[in-house]
Structure 1
Amino acid sequence: MQNIIAMYLKRTFFTVFAILTTLIFSSKSAIAQSEIAPADARSAEYRIHCIYIYNFTKYIQWPSDYGKGEFTIGIVGETGLADELKKMADVKTVNGRKILVKRYKNVNEVDKVCPMLILPVQSSDFLSTALRTCNKNTLIITQKAGLAKTGSPINFVSLDGKPKFEMNTTVLDKTDLKVLTQLKSIAILIN
C-alpha cells in the first residue's frame, strides 16, 4: 500500500512540476516577447533548466559507490546557467551531499568522478569526446537541438516556446544509472 501511495505521490509531483514549468515558461516567454530584453528571457530559461537539473538528481540514481562527499555538477565552457546552478547549490543538497558547481575549459579537464556534466550550446562540439572519455556514470546533459539523436543522454530543447528535455534511453541503458519511470514519463524519448 505504501508503495502505491509513494508511486502516486511521485507521479502527482511530476505532473504538477511539468504543468508549473510550462506555465512559468509560457508566461516568461510571452513577457519576453513583449517587454523583456533577450538576456532576461535567457535567464528565465536558465532558471527552468536549473529546476530540471535539480529534479534529475531526485529521479536518477547513481551507483552507491560512485562518489562520496560533494555532488559535482560540471560545466564545460562559459554559460549563465552556471550562475543559476551556483545559487541552487547554496541552498540545496543531493541526498545530503553538498552540491559543487565546477567549470571546465574542455572535456579533458573533467574530474574522474563527476556525476553530472553539462555541455552548453557553445560546448556541444565536445559531446563525442565526453561520451568517449567520461565515466559511464556521468550523466551528460546538452542544450542544442538534435544532440539526443547523436548520443546525448539528456538534451534540453524548446518546443512551441516551452522548455522540454529529450532522453536517449539507448545511451542511458549503457550506463549504471537508474532512471525512474516518473522522469521518463515527462521526457521526449529518443531511442
Structure 2
Amino acid sequence: MKTILLTISILLHSLAPSVSVSKQDGPGEVIYRVHSIYIYNFIKEIQWPDTYNNNNIVIGVLGSPEMETELKKMAAARTTSSRKITIKQFKSVAEVDKTCHILYLATEHSDGLSTVLQKVKGSSMLVITNKDGAAKFGSLINFVSEGGKPRFEMNLSAFEKSHLKYTQQLKTVAITVN
C-alpha cells in the first residue's frame, strides 16, 4: 500500500511541478498558474489522432483573460515535441470552432458547455472546464478542489467518444467519472 501511495505522490508531482508565487499574486493568479501547468502536462499525456499532429498545439480559451494570460506565459516558455503552443481567445460560445486541440471554458461560460459540445462534436478536442459537476455533463477534464488542493476529473466515456488517448499515468492521478 505504501508503494502505491508513493507512486501516486510522485506522479502528482510530475504532473504539477512547483509553482512560483510572489507576494503580489492573489489566489486567482495562483490557481490560473496551476491550471496552466496542468494543461501543459495534459498535452504531454494525451495523444491526438494523426490528423491533429501536423501543426502547432492550439489552446482556445472561452472567457477568463487571466487564464489566457497564464497560458500565453506558458506557451512563450515551452514547446512540446518541437511543436509551438499558441493561444486563441474566444469571447462567446458562438465564436468557438473546431480549430483547437484544447478548449478551456472559464467558470462564467460553463452554462454553455452543452452548446460547445454540440459545436465541436465529431472533433478530437480536449474540452476542459472549471465548475463542479461539469465532467458529468460531458467535459473531458474538469478542474476541482479536493481538500483545498487542485485536482481534476476525467470523463472516461467522453474521452472514448473524442478518440483522444490518455496515458495510464494521467488516469491514475485523476478522479474518474463515467
After TM superposition, is the score higher than 0.5? Answer: yes
Aligned mates of 1:80, 1:61 — CA distance in 2? 27
Change (3 A) 1:16 1:79: farther
CA distance, structure 1, for counterparts of residue 80 and residue 96 of structure 2: 20
In the alignment, does 2:112 pair up with 1:126?
yes
Unaligned runs of 5+ in 2: 1-5
Residue of structure 2 in register with 1:4 after alignment: none
Could you tell me how far 1:74 is from its partner in structure 2? 0.1
Residue deviations 1:5-42, cap 9 Å, x none?
xxxxxx96x743514778958xx7xxxxxxx78x6111
> Percent of pairs identical after alignment?
44
C-alpha contact 1:154 1:167 (8 A) present in aligned 2? yes
Contact 2:11 2:173 in 1 (8 A): no
Query: Do the aligned partners of 1:22 and 1:163 also contact (CA within 8 Å) in 2?
Result: no
Structure 1 residues 23, 160: CA separation in 2 closer, same or farther (over 3 Å shift)?
farther
Deviations 1:51-107 (A, max 9, x none): 110000011000111253221100011331111110010011132111111100123
**Which of the residues 108, 114, 119 maps onto 2:100?**
114
State the alpha-carbon separation in 1 of the partners of residues 31 and 14 from structure 2: 14
CA contact (8 A) 1:71 1:98 kept: yes
Equivalenced residue count is: 172
1:71 to 9, 32, 57: 57
User: Counterpart of 2:74?
Assistant: 88
Paired letter, 1:161: G
Note the 1:144-183 alignment, pairs <5 A.
144-183=131-170
Task: Compute the TM-score of the two structures, normalised by the length of structure 1.
Answer: 0.80
- Give the corresponding residue for 2:172: 185
Q: Judge which range, 15-24 or 181-190, deviates more.
A: 15-24
Alpha-carbon separation, structure 1, partners of 2:160 and 2:56: 25
Unaligned runs of 5+ in 1: 1-10, 29-35
Report if aligned partners of 1:66, 1:113 keep a CA contact under 8 Å in 2: no
Does the aligned pair in 2 maintain the 1:74–1:104 contact within 8 Å? yes
Q: Is the alpha carbon distance of 1:45 and 1:20 closer, same or farther for their aligned partners in structure 2, counting shifts above 3 Å?
A: farther
Query: For residues 183 and 128 of structure 1, what CA distance do their matches in structure 2 show?
Result: 25
User: TM-score, normalising length from structure 2?
Assistant: 0.86
3-state DSSP of counterpart to 2:137: coil
